[in-house]
Every structure is written in structure tokens, then in C-alpha cells.
Structure 1
């Protein structure tokens, strides 16, 4: 009966193997083949070197072309962005000019109406009061200013640029809360960054911008209100001020309030479309004849 020889129970240690056979088997085979065949001919070495040089030159050309395309793309993108910015500024300037013309025409109409109705007539006085209440006329008086601004920017450790921290940007709903809080506190007229609010005004977000009646406003946002003397105290005791305090504590959004005398709020930029109730035109029952 033949006895089988058992192999080692454990594989050789890796470090021991490296010290015993420091040369990789592939290198050993290549060295043996070179010793047996002799050195490569000169033309083969020159051809191999030329091929490597050609590959390196081609790779360099590819990198150069790619770099030029990237630089050209950035330049074209910058020019397109600058063109859009100029176009937006031009459109804003034209809008402001048209708004100025509309205000001048509104003043002219008001003067002609006062001349027709009489400067001291009760009808003219009642009409002006209604216009002031609806936002169609400029108003003056004592009131308050609530200023709300985005949180202070922080330096991004990755890019090194200043960015607004997450949650530190004022939203459209925040300005809605402030405006509604002032109305609830007794405000008679409210404006956001000079944009007069009416019964049909909207405060909405478009991208990263806030629009008040489709006109952009930027931080810091000044919500101005004309109203009774206790309006600021009532506002600070209401839910809108509590919301602002929470935003300041949690996200760093800043707000401040102040009382002001002789505030001037402009008229609304656009006319308010009038809506009328319509009478019921259903036929009434035919009365019965009497004796």
C-alpha cells in the first residue's frame, strides 16, 4: 500500500515569497527571451520610438483641440449671458418709461376730472377716498416699515465663492405673511419695495426672483404700510412677526421694524379691472289680473 505524501497545510507567507523570488516571472521570461534572441535591431527600436512619439503628439493635439473648444464654448456662453442681461435691462428701462407715461396720463385725467367735478365738491372728495383705498391714488401718512433681508452669505469651502446658506433666502410666502400681517394690524395702504398692493395684487416666485404684480423685487425687501398709531405694536404681537423671529433664529434671515412719519406710497402700477354684479334677468311671474 503506497502512502500519499501530504502537501503543506498552509500557503507560504506573502512577504517570505517576495523576498525569496523578488523578480516577477514575467520579467524573468522577458530577460531570458532577450538573452536568447539578442537585442532588437536598430530599425525596430527606431520604429517603436517613432510610433510612441506619434501617439504622444496625437494625444497632445487632441488635448489642445478640446481645450480650444472648451474655451470657445465658455466665451460664447459668457457673451450670450451678457446679451440676455443687456436685453433684460433694456426691456426694464422701456417698461419704466411706459410706466412714467402712464402715470403722467393718469395725473392729467385726474386734473381734468377735478376741473369737471369742481375742486371742492363732495363727489370728488369721495372719489379720491375710494381711489386711495383701492390703491389707484398716491397716499401719504404715518406708518411703519418692515425690512426683511436674506441671510448673510457664507464662503463655500469648495469653490471659495460667497453663497446664501440653505434656507436663508426670503420666499414669496414670507412677504405674503408680512403683508397680510400688516393688513390685519389695521394698515390702510401697503407697498413692497415701492410696488403698491391692491385687492388683486400677487406676490409670486419666478425662478429665484420674487415678483410683485409681475415686477421683480430684490433683497432687502421693504414692506411699507400706512395706518393707525398702534399698527406696529399689533403687528409685532401677531403671527407674522413670530414667523420672522423663527426664520431669524433658524436660518439667519434678518428683519427690522421702524415707525416713520409722512410716508408716501405711490399709486398701483396697473389699473385694477372692475368687476360688477349682474342683475338676474329671469322673467318674473306674470301677475294675475284683478277684478
Structure 2
């Protein structure tokens, strides 16, 4: 206890006190107040002030340059977007001219076959009843802000829609009998791909933002039942456990635009006469010469009243595994999505 009291009463060590007393006796204050010392002090202060001034001038000069470069980049982006829109308008105009020429040059049966092939390939607009699936991130998705906290990263991934989730939903709709599908207005074809680029989801290299609205044309009620009672419906309910918002409902009328940049390709039998019409036009899952029941027809057409029970929908390239091969989402699976 006495040691603590001594430390509080005499905070300065005795040796320092003796040295200070000796310097006071000699008249030595420890500071050189001669002319040379004052000159050095002035020079040092001037150099520091000059360095600070030069640094401030450089920062001030660099700020307008960075702002100009930013504005130039934004202007380039807007210009490129305008060019893309103009080219898209040109594509639509040429597509309309091509359709008009086809209607004049092809016989009636060939026109219907070309429209049906274009519908299945995604190059023709589609219209009919179907399902509407809206998937959105959890209401409060944690923002990691670039931190490396694994718990924050895991929580952010669990509450966010990922590319594999959209792949699973799309493949489930194909399996349930969908004839045409679009995500946020982006029509899917057999060549479509759903990928992730950082935190963004790309569909055919086009970035999409949540909420993700999936429109699927087909026989609405049977398709909804098939989708919800199967493994894909269980996967959907598993996503909801993480706070992801999912809404599934039927739509009496859905219109889907054609896929952008899709070119209708076809194959011919080796040795066949070019331009010769085939003897039958069998649609997938249907009898020769007839469209598959329940198939979505081009805009302005009506689907067959009988729903198809055995049609195998065109597989989507947006997901590599089939829907039945992926287990329901568990904690370990959501962790692997980061």
C-alpha cells in the first residue's frame, strides 16, 4: 500500500528530479536558443508548409480530372446504350420485313410450320395462359460492405436469390409442362444460360435485378400442381425458410416477346431435295401433322383445348443438372453458394 501511495505522491522518478536540479544550477535549459537554431526552426516550418501546399494543390488538380473522366465514361455508356437500342429497333424492323416476305412466298402449311418452329426456338412471340412466379431477396439482406466476416457473408448469401435458384425454378417449370418461359422479360431458349457475375445474375449475358419475375406459358392449373408437389416445390419452400420471398400464381393471359438475337436454324436430311416440304410435321409429344396439345402458339393463336399429358418440354440450357437431381436446399447447400 505504501508503494502505491508513494507513486501517487511522487510521480516523477528521483533520478529525473536530480538531473533537472543540476541543469537548473548550471543554467542549462536543454534548448539551444542561438541564431542558428532559430534559422533551422524557420526553415523546417517553411519546408513542412511547402510540402502541405504542394500536396493540396495536387489533390485539387486531380479532383476535376477524375470528375471529367467519370462524366466521359457515363457519356460513353449512354451512347452505347442508345446504339444498342437503335440496333434492336433495326432488328425488329428487319424481322417484321422477313415475316412479311415469308407470308408471301411460303404456302400456308409451310407458314404454320415455320411459326411453330419459331415458337419452340423462341424467335416468335408467344401468348397464352400460364404461371407467374415472383422471387425476391429477403427483406433485410445483410450488407457485408467488403468485410471478410464469414458469418455476415453466410447470412447475406442465405437471404439472396442466387443463379442456381433461378436455374432450379426454370427447370422445374419446364418439367411441369411450360412451353415458353421468360425472366424479367428475357425470353429463354434452349441456348440460354443463367450465370452469376459477382452479386449479379446474368441471363444470356444480360444483368437482371430483383425481384425476378418468371412467366411460363402452359396449362396453368396442372402445371402449378405438378410444380408445387414435386421436388421443385419442396426446394421453393426451402428457400422461403431463409426469408426469400416467393409468390406463385396463375395468369389467364401472358405475352412473351421473342428472344433477342435468336436465329431460327433447321436441319435437312442428307440427299433430300432443297426446299422440299416434309411429309409430316410432328410437334414434340404430338401426332404427326398436329401441334402438341397445350402448346403455346404464336401471338394471335389459341392453344389446343386438350392439355398434353406426355409432352417433354424443351430443356433449358440455363441449368446443367435436371430438377430431379438436385436435393432440397439445406444449410450446407446455401453455404456453398457464397
**1:182-232 Cα deviation digits (max 9, x unpaired):** 101100001111111111111122333222112222111111110013212
- Is contact 1:200–1:272 with CA below 8 Å preserved after alignment? no
Match of 1:185 in 2: 176
Distance 1:35 1:93 in 2: 82
1:98 aligns with 2:98: no
CA gap 1:53/1:177 in 2 versus in 1, 3 angstroms:
farther
Q: Which segments of 5 or more consecutive residues in structure 2 lack a partner in the other structure?
A: 147-151, 272-338
CA gap 1:13/1:110 in 2 versus in 1, 3 angstroms:
same
Match of 1:87 in 2: 76
CA gap 1:16/1:205 in 2 versus in 1, 3 angstroms:
same
CA gap 1:70/1:254 in 2 versus in 1, 3 angstroms:
farther
Match of 1:130 in 2: 117
CA gap 1:68/1:193 in 2 versus in 1, 3 angstroms:
farther
CA gap 1:69/1:273 in 2 versus in 1, 3 angstroms:
farther
RMSD: 3.7
Shift, 1:276, TM fit: 4.3
- Is contact 1:150–1:219 with CA below 8 Å preserved after alignment? yes
TM-score by length of 2: 0.65
Distance 2:45 2:95 in 1: 74
Shift, 1:112, TM fit: 1.1
**Bigger radius of gyration among the two:** 1
Distance 2:215 2:168 in 1: 14
Shift, 1:110, TM fit: 0.8
Q: Which moved more, 1:181-190 or 1:171-180?
A: 171-180
Q: Which moved more, 1:63-72 or 1:223-232?
A: 63-72
1:248 aligns with 2:240: yes
Matches within 5 A, 1:16-95: 17-18=6-7, 21-38=10-27, 40=29, 44=33, 55=44, 59=48, 62=51, 66=55, 77=66, 79-95=68-84
- Is contact 2:172–2:232 with CA below 8 Å preserved after alignment? yes
CA gap 1:264/1:158 in 2 versus in 1, 3 angstroms:
closer
Distance 1:101 1:131 in 2: 19
**1:23-64 Cα deviation digits (max 9, x unpaired):** 323531332222221155997178767766765665566556
1:195 aligns with 2:169: no
Aligned length: 263
CA gap 1:13/1:50 in 2 versus in 1, 3 angstroms:
farther
SS of 1:136's equivalent? coil
CA gap 1:236/1:79 in 2 versus in 1, 3 angstroms:
farther
CA gap 1:158/1:181 in 2 versus in 1, 3 angstroms:
closer
Distance 2:199 2:229 in 1: 30
- Is contact 1:138–1:266 with CA below 8 Å preserved after alignment? yes
CA gap 1:139/1:42 in 2 versus in 1, 3 angstroms:
closer
**1:219-250 Cα deviation digits (max 9, x unpaired):** 11111110013212222223333323222322
Distance 1:258 1:19 in 2: 78
**Higher normalized contact order (CA 8 Å, seq sep 6+, divided by chain length):** 2
Match of 1:286 in 2: none
Q: Which segments of 5 or more consecutive residues in structure 1 lack a partner in the other structure?
A: 1-11, 281-291
1:266 aligns with 2:253: no
Q: Which moved more, 1:93-102 or 1:104-113?
A: 93-102
